[in-house]
Amino acid sequence: MNSAKILMSIYVALLFFVLSPGVLVALPPGGSRTTQLITHALILGLVWALTHKAVWKVVGGKTKCSSCSCGGQGAPEEVMGANIERYENSKFEGMVGGR
């Protein structure tokens, strides 16, 4: 596991802890435990959705692929589309040909 993934794991663990009911605040005040848990789960999801890409860039995560033949350079959309089309056609030929 690379350091960016480790740092992201630490970030989400800290985010989970800080946004747990009763750590900083319990929302809604006076609500049942279940209501507070659901509210804090929604807040965690919202904060994660709004911040995870920025945090990933800050911790040094790669924004382009590194496991394919492009060597991390990213592929143009038309190349990716052609590859998807070839893949879909090969699946269809496999079904028709009885492989």
pLDDT tens digit sequence for 29-78: 999 999 999 999 999 999 999 999 999 989 988 765 555 554 444 444 44
Buried b (16+ CB within 10 A) or exposed e, 8-32: beebeeebeeebebeeeebeeeeee
Alpha carbon of residue 99 to chain centroid:
35
What is the reported pTM?
Answer: 0.60
Structural domain boundaries in the chain? 3-58, 64-99
- What's the pLDDT score for residue 60? 87
Residue 85 tokens read as 């089309």
- What's the pLDDT score for residue 48? 95
Amino acid identity, residue 11? Y
- What's the pLDDT score for residue 52? 92
